[in-house]
Amino acid sequence: MKRVVVTGGMGFIGRNLLTALGRRGDVDTRAFDVDDPPEALRAALVQVDTVFHLAGVNRPQDPAEFQVGNVDFTRRLCEYLHESGARPTVVFASSIQAELDNPYGASKAAAEGVLAAWSRSGGGPVAIFRLPNVFGKWGRPNYNSVVSTFCHNVAHGLPLRVDDPESSLKLIHVDDVVTAFLRTLDAPPLDVERRVVAPITETTVGELASRVRAFRVVQHAPDVPDLSDRFTRALFSTYLSYLRPADLAFDFDTHVDERGELAELLREIHAGQVFVSRTNPGITRGNHYHDIKVERFVVIEGEGVVRLRALGEDEVHEYRVSGAVPQAVIIPPGTAHSIQNVGQGVMVTLFWATEVFDPDRPDTYYEAVLPSGEQP
């Protein structure tokens, strides 16, 4: 069992990393953030094996906070490690701005130097990741990334501010960052190493804004974006994670003639996987979540209840669904979900997933929607 400490555990990358660490059975993880007392961090660093150092200041009101939050805190972390005698692997979330001449980049470069000096004076190995603009579920709008801001604003009907449409962006999904971080547990650096994350997508602010705006047009329509490339799938998944609970369920058009009814759920050759299930009365399917995969559920025969709960939250949202009046329910990433047959007969449900099921990378993790011991 490896002892792992995560600084900045309440942040965007920290929350995604802690979720992934929680799925492993070989780590004892402790998370710390700005509100935790220094004594608690000092105590946790005794006999620690790996420190994921994610804590830092991104957009302060006073630029002097870059020095305090990024450099001074890193120096204090190294002092605590020196006092404890621990020589763990330190994984540092730096930034590509460390190569630029600005206060934020300079503070990240200085923090890299502090860690390198600690390592070379008897400390442990250090893996430095200079990250581009990271996006994905749980990012804070107007703070973590322009993707978070654009997705939040479009999903909530707010305007986008685009000062320079041609301004270039380098983007990476948070799952790829977490995957790269986790590799250090099994293949730690030998010294101070600069490691990279991939794949990085290069685009412009104007192109990003155009893509995100297009998602709103189709979010409640049978047409879905062309999801044939991985970046679009990740961006669409991120956008849907910002929808309000009231926007997750929607009605779709039903065409009626003498033959009966026809309801089209989706249209797109690269749209992933559509499948159907038959569920006996009283049975509940699901109780799991996905990191990037997004789904839609629609009951076409029988009666059911879809339950959704965002990870880390207590509130459960319920949607009563029935084949008599078909209604689709969106399952965002990072959301525990289940569907229960509450009718008297077999329930027939149509499912759509953005990715075809891959047994080598199923992206499906157990998580009960309802609190422990509570029955649906």
In contact, 350 and 265? CB cutoff 8 Å:
yes
108 and 167 in one domain? Answer: yes
Q: Does residue 144 fall inside a structural domain?
A: yes
Among 154, 179, 208, where does a domain finish? Answer: 208
Q: Per residue of the chain (376 residues), give pLDDT as tens.
A: 999 999 999 999 999 999 999 999 999 999 999 889 999 999 999 999 999 999 998 888 898 999 999 999 999 999 999 999 999 999 999 999 999 999 999 999 999 999 999 999 999 999 999 999 999 999 999 999 999 999 999 999 999 999 999 999 999 999 999 999 999 999 999 999 999 999 999 999 999 999 999 999 989 988 888 888 999 999 999 999 999 999 999 987 888 888 777 787 788 877 789 999 999 999 999 999 999 999 999 999 999 999 999 999 999 999 999 999 999 999 999 999 999 999 999 999 999 999 888 899 999 999 999 987 676 7
**Cβ of 363: how many Cβ atoms within 10 Å?**
17
Pull the structure tokens for residue 355: 């990715």
Q: Which domain holds residue 309?
A: 248-366
Q: Does residue 33 fall inside a structural domain?
A: yes
167 and 70 in one domain? Answer: yes
Q: Does residue 261 fall inside a structural domain?
A: yes
In contact, 221 and 251? CB cutoff 8 Å:
no
One-letter amino acid for residue 351 of the chain:
F
Can you give the pLDDT at residue 259? 78
The whole model's pTM is what? Answer: 0.90
Q: Does residue 336 fall inside a structural domain?
A: yes
273 and 202 in one domain? Answer: no
Can you give the pLDDT at residue 266? 80
Q: Does residue 174 fall inside a structural domain?
A: yes
* φ and ψ at residue 119, rounded to 5 degrees: -60, -45
Among 208, 238, 259, where does a domain finish? Answer: 208
277 and 156 in one domain? Answer: no
DSSP three-state, residue 78: helix
For residue 54, with 0-12 CB atoms within 10 Å meaning exposed, 13-18 middle and 19 or more buried, which class applies? buried
List the CATH number of the domain containing 132: 3.40.50.720
In contact, 295 and 352? CB cutoff 8 Å:
yes
Can you give the pLDDT at residue 253? 82
Can you give the pLDDT at residue 375? 67
Query: Angle at Cα 369 formed by Cα 367 and Cα 370, nearest 5°?
Result: 125
DSSP three-state, residue 351: strand
Q: Does residue 68 fall inside a structural domain?
A: yes
198 and 96 in one domain? Answer: yes
Can you give the pLDDT at residue 373? 61
Give the strand order in the sheet containing 168-173. Answer: 133-135, 168-173, 201-204
265 and 190 in one domain? Answer: no
b/e 56-69 (16+ beta carbons within 10 angstroms → b): bbbeeeeeebbbeb
Q: Does residue 240 fall inside a structural domain?
A: no
List the CATH number of the domain containing 263: 2.60.120.10
157 and 266 in one domain? Answer: no
89 and 173 in one domain? Answer: yes
152 and 295 in one domain? Answer: no
Among 154, 177, 208, where does a domain finish? Answer: 208
In contact, 103 and 66? CB cutoff 8 Å:
yes
204 and 288 in one domain? Answer: no
- DSSP type of residue 140: P
**Cβ of 342: how many Cβ atoms within 10 Å?**
17
Q: Does residue 235 fall inside a structural domain?
A: no
Can you give the pLDDT at residue 239? 98
Q: How many domains does the chain have?
A: 2
DSSP three-state, residue 237: helix
156 and 35 in one domain? Answer: yes
Can you give the pLDDT at residue 115? 98
Q: Which residues are catalytic?
A: 104
190 and 322 in one domain? Answer: no
